[in-house]
Amino acid sequence: MKVGVFDSGIGGLTVVKSLLQHQLFEEIIYFGDTARVPYGSKDKNTIIRYGIEAVEFFKNFKLDMLIVACNTVSAYALSEMQEAANCPVIGVVEAGVLATQNALTNKNANILIIGTNATINSQAYEKGLKDLDFQNLQAKATPLFVPLVEEEIFDGAIVKESFKHYFQKLTHPDALILGCTHFPLLASSLQNYFGQETQLIHSGDAIVEYLEKTFDFQTKYTNPSLQFFASENPDALRLIAKRWLDV
């Protein structure tokens, strides 16, 4: 199977990492819209337009499946992209909601969703979780986390003060949904801040869990073909991919 992975920038590589670890695909084609990143501060219509443009880009490749790694795009543009595409289009939000359900037995568990402004404003995670009868939800936009990760600041005083800034008035969560592909890189600091009893839900792992439940993967591909595209400076993206994915 040939899969496309779309993200606004480089964050979706954390999803590719999970796909590689589970050896699900023969061919992975990644496209990051690095010339227009980030999407998280942009508005709904712009995000939908960019999502449909990404579908058009992937039509060059006759995909079997397209994964939307970006939470912001998944939250706002998934149905429009599904309509425009001629293959299944799967978003991380949907997968994250189901992964949360699998991780929690108690419907009264307190779930904290963090993401970009756009993702949090969309209330996409809340809608999905409420449909599954989770009621005890908190959502918090944490836009500083993206630039922190992009500067490779994963711990230390600024990170700690940012956590305090965003979280100190919230109820302690039983589960934390990392609603942005950048956030797994802060996972260890977040786990320290909230304590070991808080379960972290990671988009990449959630997608794999979702795919394995939904589709019938009969072969493991230990050496898949990988291609990386970007709307600007694809060489920079390829270098980062090499480093993050060890490929």
By the rule CB under 8 A, 148 interacts with a second copy? yes
Q: Provide CB contacts within 8 A for 58, sequence distance 6+.
A: 4, 6, 29, 31, 66, 85
Q: Please state the length of the chain.
A: 247
Residue 87 is a catalytic residue: no
Give the amino acid at 159: V
Distance between CA 200 and CA 188 in Å, rounded? Answer: 10
Report the nearest approach of a second copy to the CB of residue 21 (Å): 28
In the bound state with a second copy, the residue whose beta carbon lies nearer, of 19 and 141, is 141
One residue of 13, 92, 112, 146 binding a second copy per CB under 8 A: 146
Minimum CB distance to a second copy, residue 124 (Å): 19
Residue span 6-45 as binding mask against a second copy, x where in contact by CB under 8 A, dash where not: ----------------------------xxxxx--xxx-x
Give me 219's structure tokens.
């072969």
Residue from 70, 146, 230, 237 carrying the catalytic annotation: 70
What phi-psi label fits residue 65: left (phi over 0), alpha (psi between -120 and 50 degrees) or beta?
beta
**Spatial distance between the Cα atoms of 172 and 183, rounded to a whole number of angstroms:** 19
- Residues marked as catalytic: 70, 180
Residues making contact with a second copy (CB under 8 A): 34-38, 41-43, 45-46, 143-144, 146-148, 150-151, 153, 156-158, 161-162, 164-165, 232-233, 236
